[in-house]
Every structure is written in structure tokens, then in C-alpha cells.
């Protein structure tokens, strides 16, 4: 069994880009409901199938399995809503590796930073480009962005 302990934040400026190289991601959701999701993801020529349980605080169960790339491309065609398109950047700061997702397509304009923790009580050092924390806010879940993309939110945008 895997456990994901993660916090999410909005990004306030472009300073995180210095020296960062991104990887293109495409992901879609085969099933979701009651806080559970089944996701297919392609990144950097590799693919995974991921099952996630409901969120409890900063944590949730997560099970991830590599799958053949060709299967992932076919599975993406089975997904509902727009496919999540984003560039992911991995940026070390303090004792953590931050992941900054710059969304494209239907979610263009949204930039979110995530940090995975080893313990829910851990307080990571925050980079200077971190803004409002959005951990636990469902509208920022990738699975919800497929049904309610960022471009549809309208004002006010944080």
C-alpha cells in the first residue's frame, strides 16, 4: 500500500523557472467518484495507471503501476473531459523536491506547486514564489479540472 502526503500551492511569479527543465504530461481519468480516481498518465515516454483513494487532510492512499506506452495512449481515448496537458518542473528547495505544474489547453494559465511530505505534520520550507495554499480545495484537483477546466472558472481567480 502506498500513501501520498502532499500539499499544493498557487505560484506567484516566474522566478521558479530559472534553470528548470520541464517534462510534458498528458493524463486523463478513467473513473472517479466518492473521492476515488483511476488515472492514466504519460510523461517522458513512460506511462502509469494510478488508483487514488479519498483525501484525508494532506494524505490519501495511492497505488501506481507502470503500463505499456501504447496501452496508455489507447486508454486516454477512453477518458472523460479534456485530457490534462501540463509541463512539470522539478525544483529542489530546502530539503524537498517541489513539482511545479504549468497547465496548457483547457487549463492554460493555472500554475500549481506541489510538495510531497514524509509526514503530515512536516512543515516544508516555502520557496519565495509560493502563494496561497490550495491543499484540499477540490477545484484544484487534476481530476476536477477535466470537468471544470480553469478557463471556465471566471473571476475572481486567485
Residues acting as catalytic residues: 29
Q: Are 37 and 61 in contact (CB under 8 A)?
A: no
- Nearest Cα residue to 35 out of 62, 22, 54: 54
User: Which DSSP symbol is given to 80?
Assistant: S
Sign of CA dihedral 151, 22, 57, 129: negative
The vertex-34 CA angle with 55 and 88, nearest 5°, equals 50
Q: Name the pairing type of β-strands 96-103 and 3-11.
A: unpaired
Amino acid at each position: 500500500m502506498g500513501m501520498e502526503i502532499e500539499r499544493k500551492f498557487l505560484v506567484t511569479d516566474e522566478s521558479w523557472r530559472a534553470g528548470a527543465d520541464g517534462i510534458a504530461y498528458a493524463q486523463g481519468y478513467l473513473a472517479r467518484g466518492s473521492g476515488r480516481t483511476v488515472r492514466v498518465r504519460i510523461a517522458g515516454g513512460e506511462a502509469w495507471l494510478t488508483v487514488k483513494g479519498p483525501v484525508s487532510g494532506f494524505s490519501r492512499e495511492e497505488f501506481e503501476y507502470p503500463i505499456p506506452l501504447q496501452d496508455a495512449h489507447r486508454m486516454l481515448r477512453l477518458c472523460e473531459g479534456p485530457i490534462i496537458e501540463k509541463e512539470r518542473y522539478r525544483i529542489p528547495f530546502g530539503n524537498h523536491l517541489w513539482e511545479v505544474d504549468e497547465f496548457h489547453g483547457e487549463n492554460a494559465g493555472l500554475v500549481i506547486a506541489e510538495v510531497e511530505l514524509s509526514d503530515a505534520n512536516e512543515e516544508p520550507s516555502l520557496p519565495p514564489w509560493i502563494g496561497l495554499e490550495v491543499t484540499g480545495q477540490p477545484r484544484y484537483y487534476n481530476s476536477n479540472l477535466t470537468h471544470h477546466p480553469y478557463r471556465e472558472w471566471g473571476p475572481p481567480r486567485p
